[in-house]
Chains A and B, each alone.
Chain A
Amino acid sequence: MDVIQQLREQAKKLLEEKKVDMVIGFGEGTELARTTPVFITNPEEVSALTWGPLCANNLVKYLLDYQNLPGNIAVVVKGCDSRAINRLVTDNQINRDKVVVLGVPCPGQLDWRVVAAAADPAAKLKGFSDDGESFTIKTDAGDYRFDKKESMLPRCLVCENPNPVVSDITIGKEQPVRNYKERFADVIALEQLGTEEKSAYWDKQFSRCLRCYACRNVCPVCTCRTCVFDQMQPMWVSKRNNLSENTAFHLIRAFHVAGRCIDCGECDRVCPVDIPLRNLNQKIQKDLKDLFNAPTPGSEAGLASPLGEFATGDPEEFM
C-alpha cells in the first residue's frame, strides 16, 4: 500500500475514532506542480490528502492557529517540519498531548517552479516515482524526470533529517540521509567575502525586499502574539520601504529566531523576490555549532536553546 493510501486510512481512523477533530495535510493544488494545505474534519473527505515531492510547506505553523480549537489535531510532517514540533513544545507554544504527528519520511522536495517550467501545464498528475537520484512525475501527458541535485529545493540538498525526529504514526519507508553538498557551503562562501563585499551583497538583497512579511508569517518559530514589526506605538521599524528599514527588519528577525530557527528553509522558499534568507539564519546556526557545539534546534525533544540557557559556572566573565 502506498504512502498516500496509508495516510488517508490513518487520517480516516483518527477522525472516525474521534482521536482528532482535524487533520492538516497536503492536498492537490490548482496546478500540476503544486499542492496546497488541506484541513480535514470529516472522515469522508480524507481522499483530499496527497503526498509526494511537491509538498514543501511546513504545516506545523498551522498548529499555532488552530491549537485552541476544542479537539486534537493531526498534522502531516516531513523530517524538517518535525523539528518545529519539538521546538514549539519546548517553547510551550503547543501542547504535545493535543497533537498527533503523522510523520512521513521524505525523499526530498522539488522546487515547484522547476516542475512547472518543464511540464505541460494542462497535464494531470498520475503519480510519482523515486529512483534515489531522480524523481519521475507521471502525468497523462507523459512522464517528466527531475534530477534531485538539479531540481530540489536548496534546503533538501543538505537535509539532516529526512526521517521525522518526532512522530506518533510513521507512514512510509525510512529514507537515507544523503548530503549533496557541505551543509554550510553557502554560508562559508559568504564568509570568505570582505566586509565591504558582504555589505554590498546584503544591501542588494535587502533593497529588493517588499516587506510582505511572508518569511515571518510562514516561520514556525515566529510565535509572538503581537510582532514587533506590527507594533504601532512605538513603531520600531516603519512601513517605509528603504534599505535601512528593510535591513533592520531582516536583522531583527534573524536575531529573534537565533538558536530557535529549525532550518526548515520556508522563509527562503516563500520569498517572492528570492532573498536568500536561509543564509542569514544558517550563519547563526553555524556559529552556534562552532561555539557551543549546538545541534540544530528541534532535532531532539526538550533540547535547550544555546542562547536561552543560563549556567552559573559559565566561564564567560560577564556572566
Chain B
Amino acid sequence: MPARSANAARLTRSELRRSLLLLLAATVVTCIAGALVGTVTLDLAEVWGVAGTDRTIFVSVRLPRVLLAAIVGAALAVAGAALQPTLRNPLASPDIIGVSGGAALAAVFALAVLPAGYGGMGQYLVPMAAFVGAAVASALVYQLSLVHGRLEPYTQILVGVIFNTFAASLILLVSAVVDMSRTHSIVFWLMGGIAVHPYPVLGLVALLVGVGTAVLVREARTLDLLSLGDETAEHLGVDLGSSRRRVFAAASLMVGAVVALTGVITFVGLIVPHLMRRILGSDNRLLLPASAFAGAIFLVACDAVARVAIRPAELPVGAITAMVGGPFFIYLLRRRSTAGRDL
C-alpha cells in the first residue's frame, strides 16, 4: 500500500490527536445510545430521578453490561490489530494464538466438575479457571513456537491453530462424558456473551486491558518497521525477538482477561483492525488506539442488537458479531483481491 504508507508517514501529532478524540467521542456516544436501549424500555426521568426499578436496572444491569462490551471489544480489536503485523498474517486474530482455546477448555472443565455453589466468590470460579487456562495455553503456544530460541510467526500461527483444534476436541470429549444437565451450561458458555458483572470486576478487567493496550501502543513503531520484513527491521535496530514477545504477552493478557468473562466472541479482533486499516492507513500509532475505540463501538452496537432483536429474549452476541463479520470479511477479501493488493 504505497499511497497509504506515504499518507501515514505524514500523519502529524495533531492529526493523530484529532482522529483519536473523534473516535473517543464516537465511542462515548455509542455507549450512551447502547445504554438507552434494551429489553426493558426505561423511563429516563425515573433513571435520573428517584431511586426506583428503572434506575436499578440502569445502574446495576444496563450500564455494567455496556461498559463490559466496550472493554471487551476494545481488547479484542487492539490485540488483533497488533497481532496481524506481528505474525505477518491477515488472518491473525486473538482467537488463533491459543488463548481463547485454552480459556474455553479450562472453563469447560470447571463447568463439568464444579458444584453449583452460590454466594461469595463462587461465580468467579469459572472465569478464574478460564483465565488460568488462557495463561497456560499462551505459555505453551509460546514455548512450542520457539525456533532456535526465536519466536517464529508461521510456527506460532500453526501451533495456535492446532492447539485450538486440540482444545476443541477435548471440549467435545468433556461434553460427551459429562452429565447431561451440565452440557447446556457448557454450550451456553461456548456461545459467548456479555454478562452483567459488578463494577470492581469491570475495573480490574479495564486495568488489565489498559496495561495491555499501553504496551501494544508503545510497540507501534516497531510494528510499522516489521512490515518492511524481518531483516530490514533488524538492520534498522529492532530487537525482533523481545518485541514479538512483548506483543504476544500483552495480547494474551488482555484476551485472557476478557475471554474469561465473556467466553469466545469471534470476529471482533479480525475485522475491526482490517476495517480501520482500510480507513486510516497502516500507521500503527493511530491504528492501534483507533482499533480499540472501533472495537468498543462495534461490540457495544452488536450487544445492543443482541438485546433488542428478539425482545424480551436475548441473542448470543457472538452470533451477531459472526453474522455481521463473516460476510463483511469476505467482502473485504474480494475487494482486496480485485484490487490486486496485499496486506
Decide if A and B are genuine partners.
no
